[in-house]
Structure 1
């Protein structure tokens, strides 16, 4: 018998996404039910109790508001070790490295 975690891991390699979004008219699919729940919470929930004091944008989680606040404060704690460019969010710096420095090996 194969474990559930092994089956879930195999989906990463096959690209199969057997779990559909539960919201009508949304055609998104995912590898797990937990990914479906996260998607529904982020994309289909209108309640956003954490509001930015500067621009009024709402968030479903406090950590997302804190991350967003760096845009207004100018804080850029994530620095590209290749060129020195700084970013407010880790994923922005990682995206930069993948796009701009993809052929650099350091």
Structure 2
């Protein structure tokens, strides 16, 4: 009877907690099922601090910002602090006397590349395998012929893709598809944090940076950081 009262009538909420996240349950079996479902799948992105996995990089960044923002990864040898365990591991190699970092030196220009893939891409530029198409109007270099043709259309004003709803013309089919969503009200790209929707993936990617706090574009004069290159350019003009 006492066991029945303890199991049924005593509040057992939060009795069992997941060691990998904040999930809690009444029964240990529920925790085991949760771990199998939530933490043993092959996620593309995994938190180095707690092991929690995510299918999108933006989800992982938000998790680290909200759950581990005060975590410090300090080198025991020199005291230098890093923002992730992965960066700390890479740095720790510099203190290992037996570690030899493999580098690849270009025989043509003496540039040093830190990966074989980077070295191969670099050599293709010397060998002419990566063609460069230079615009005779603005001097911009384009690496692909298709991209070069699209770029030239911007100067010529060529618009071959017509919107049947409003009659507006566009440079390419993709631009037309994005435009038609203005008429159809289609917003296929949804933010997983605030549920806001967007007509194109680039807009969603920019929006996600506001959630993660990512500001990759920095002003060389005042060190202020911005979400997009356009905002940085506007800052320079207004400043």
Query: Cα deviations across residues 11-31 of structure 1 (Å, max 9, x unaligned)?
Result: xxxxxxx864222xx24x235
| Partner Cα separation in structure 2 for residue 78 and residue 102 of structure 1 | 17
C-alpha distance in structure 2 between counterparts of 1:37 and 1:7, whole Å? 24
1:90 pairs, out of 184, 190, 201, with 201
- Give SS of 1:76's match: coil
For residue 101 of structure 1, give the secondary structure of its aligned residue in structure 2. helix
Cα 1:79–1:33, aligned 2, differ >3 Å: closer, same or farther?
closer
| Residue from 121, 127, 135 that aligns with 1:6 | 121
In 2, distance between residues paired with 1:63 and 1:21?
22
2:212 counterpart of 1:102 = yes
Unpaired runs of at least 5, structure 2:
1-106, 109-119, 126-131, 215-239
Residue ranges of structure 1 left out of the alignment (5+ in a row) = 11-17
Larger RCO (CA under 8 A, 6+ residues apart): 1
Counterpart of 2:160 (choices 28, 46, 49) is 49
Q: Which protein has the larger Cα radius of gyration, Structure 1 or Structure 2?
A: 2
Alpha-carbon shift at residue 58 of structure 1 (Å): 0.4
Residue 136 of structure 2 corresponds to: 22
Give me the whole-angstrom Cα distance separating, in 1, the residues matched to 2:122 and 2:150.
Answer: 20
The one-character-per-residue Cα deviations of 1:43-76 (angstroms, maximum 9, x if unpaired) are: 1233312211233220132332122100111110
List structure 1 segments (4+ residues) > 6 angstroms apart after TM superposition.
none
Residue 172 of structure 2 is matched in structure 1 by: 61
Aligned 8 A contact 2:150 2:171 in 1? no
Shift of the 54–95 alpha-carbon distance from structure 1 to 2, 3 Å rule, reads: same
**RMSD over equivalenced CA pairs, Å:** 3.2
CA contact (8 A) 1:80 1:97 kept: yes
1:8 and 1:31 in contact (8 A); partners too: no
Aligned length: 91
Match of 1:36 among 135, 148, 160: 148
TM (normalized to structure 1)? 0.63
